[in-house]
Amino acid sequence: MELLYKSTRSENETATASQAILKGLADDGGLFVPTSIPKLETSISDLSKMTYQEVAYEVMKLFFTDFTEEELKECINKAYDAKFDTEEIAPIVKADGAYFLELFHGATIAFKDMALSILPHLLTTSAKKNQVKNEIVILTATSGDTGKAALAGFADVPGTKIIVFYPKDGVSPIQEKQMVTQKGDNTFVVGINGNFDDAQTGVKLIFGDKDLAKVMAKSNYQFSSANSINIGRLVPQVVYYVYAYSRLLANDEVCEGEKINVVVPTGNFGNILAAFYAKNMGLPIDKLICASNDNKVLYDFFSTGEYNRNREFILTSSPSMDILISSNLERLIFKIAGNDANKNGELMKALSSNGKYEITKEMKNDLSDFYGNYATEEETGKTIQQIYEDTNYVIDTHTAVAACVYKKYKKETNDKSKTLIASTASPYKFTRSVMCAINEKYDSMSDFELVDELSKISGVEVPQAIEEIRSAKVLHETVCEVNEMQKVVKDFLNI
């Protein structure tokens, strides 16, 4: 049966999976949601005998019903291949009383690879299915991780070009080096003299420019987005929760049907929403533990029922979670509003005009699957240090936020259920923060000295993604002012 998607903000816009992937955002500004969440059709014990790619197919076929088996399998096999440094794709490490699901074994060593390695294939297949002849131009603003993962995913994919804008002085040295050394004739990386918000706003303006869209169409181009509200990013993230549970079962770590908790270090609410979808598909998950850093807008929301972004934006050592508007939360709000697009639309209007909204008591009661808490900078550092000292396992700053919140949860509730922690980045991506948390003496070393030191103390080989940038040539040197972004795009496309 065909599963359709509809907007969270109006009753009348529906789309097939491939149309929703192509569009990214609905015309009314809402997010596409499936009209119902499909149930798993394969038993978990059967899934436990399958490879990652096979599990991916069993999950994705239920959401992307207008793709043929051949199309979907081709997308999956092109995405989850030797770009990952382990055949397991997402291995589990047992440490410190929890299971760490390592989602950072892809090309750019952060969890964004899990979805961005398949999105280009889903997108180009969707274009073909809908007779789109234009070349797709992916336009992205990044605060660091999304940009590189999208570049790696789209590099040299026929029928696409990708343009990434990043704040020139707002990303880590390793993140910048990763981006400006990107190969591929269809890639273009631009630093802007401004912050991430400026980049994001500039990109939205370009997206919304009707005249530019006409000029683009004349040259057979159209824009699309690789950002995390695309359903083509959300669904591939459901896969690894199903896969992880099936591995725990295969390894006799859980009994069939035994409920586990899942802890997710959260920013835009995409990763944890995928876990919530997995639970709704029938995966035995009990609590969804939402971990925030000092930008604890979600913790406050789960405690009070009020979402309020009117607060100071705090720069932390877990920059991929420094966010005050968690876009994907809208999909959860829509659900607890009883799938009521008008009710959701009003709350989102309040968010954009007043920066806040409050949900009703009944809606709040529907949030009982979730537990929210946060970790301060000091607690995050201490957690990295403690886990390293007790177990020799080194985790990155984002994962440490999750591990710290899990400790708080256990203390508060005494819940002894087995727990999976989403480990979202390799410690090599945030080497300085990680090493200085372990011992202050490391502060005087250079970035690449720290890389070698991390390898020594953890016994983990330096990932290819880091080796590559040690000596890689800088290929992108364009820097522009915020008001020149559109011109830069036109020049690159030659229009």
Ligand X SMILES: *Cc1c(COP(=O)(O)O)cnc(C)c1O
User: Could you tell me the smallest distance in angstroms from the CB atom of residue 131 to ligand X?
Assistant: 32
Smaller CB distance to ligand X: residue 37 or 425?
Answer: 425
* 322 near ligand X (CB under 6 A): no
270 is a contact residue toward ligand X (CB under 6 A): yes
CB closer to ligand X out of 125 and 237: 237
Among 113, 145, 176, 322, binds ligand X (CB under 6 A): 145
Residue 263 and residue 406 in contact, taking contact as beta carbons nearer than 8 Å:
yes
x/- binding map, residues 100-139, to ligand X, per CB under 6 A?
Answer: ----------xxx---------------------------
Spell out, one character per residue from 325 to 364, where the chain touches ligand X: x when CB under 6 A holds, - when not.
----------------------------------------
C-alpha dihedral, 340 to 342 to 347 to 348, nearest 10°: 100
We find the least distance from the C-beta atom of residue 397 to ligand X, in angstroms, to be: 8
C-alpha–C-alpha distance, residues 480 and 486, integer Å: 10
Q: How far is the CB of 458 from ligand X (least distance, A)?
A: 18
**Of 402, 387, 99, which Cα lies nearest the Cα of 254?**
99
Exactly one of 106, 167, 170, 265 binds ligand X (CB under 6 A); that residue is 265
Q: Which of 284, 259, 288 has its CA nearest to residue 271?
A: 288
| Phi, psi torsion values for 374, nearest 5 degrees | -145, 165
Q: List own/partner pairs for 300-307 with CB under 8 A and 24 or more apart.
A: 301/329, 301/372, 302/367, 302/370, 302/371, 302/372, 303/372, 305/358, 305/359, 305/360, 305/361, 305/363, 305/364, 306/356, 306/357, 306/358, 306/359, 307/351, 307/356, 307/357, 307/358, 307/359
Name which position in 320, 373, 380, 431 contacts ligand X (CB under 6 A): 320
Tell me, residue by residue from 380 to 399, as one string, x for binding to ligand X by CB under 6 A and - for no binding: ------------------x-
Looking at 156-164, 186-194, 264-272, 309-317, which segment touches ligand X (CB under 6 A)? 264-272
Say how many Å lie between the first and final Cα of the chain, rounded.
43
Task: Extract the runs of DSSP E, i.e. beta strands, from 103-219.
Answer: 135-141, 160-167, 187-192
**CA separation for the pair 347, 323 (Å, rounded):** 19
Closer to ligand X by Cβ: residue 269 or 299: 269
Options 4-12, 70-78, 263-271, 444-452: segment touching ligand X (CB under 6 A): 263-271
Q: What would the x/- binding string for ligand X be over residues 414 to 433, using CB under 6 A? A: ----------xx--------
Query: Tokens 């009003």 appear where?
Result: 346
Nearer to ligand X, 269 or 301 (CB): 269
Least distance between ligand X and beta carbon 103 (Å) = 9
The size of the interface with ligand X (CB under 6 A), counted in residues, is 17
Per-residue burial over 160-174, b = 16 or more CB atoms within 10 Å of its CB, e = otherwise: bbbbbbbbbebbbeb
Out of 170, 236, 267, 372, the residue judged to bind ligand X by CB under 6 A: 267
Q: Is 349 among the residues known to form the active site?
A: no
Phi-psi domain of 226 (left: phi exceeds 0; alpha: psi -120 through 50; beta: other): alpha
Contacts to ligand X by CB under 6 A: 110-112, 145, 228, 265-271, 320-321, 398, 424-425
Q: Which residues are catalytic?
A: 112
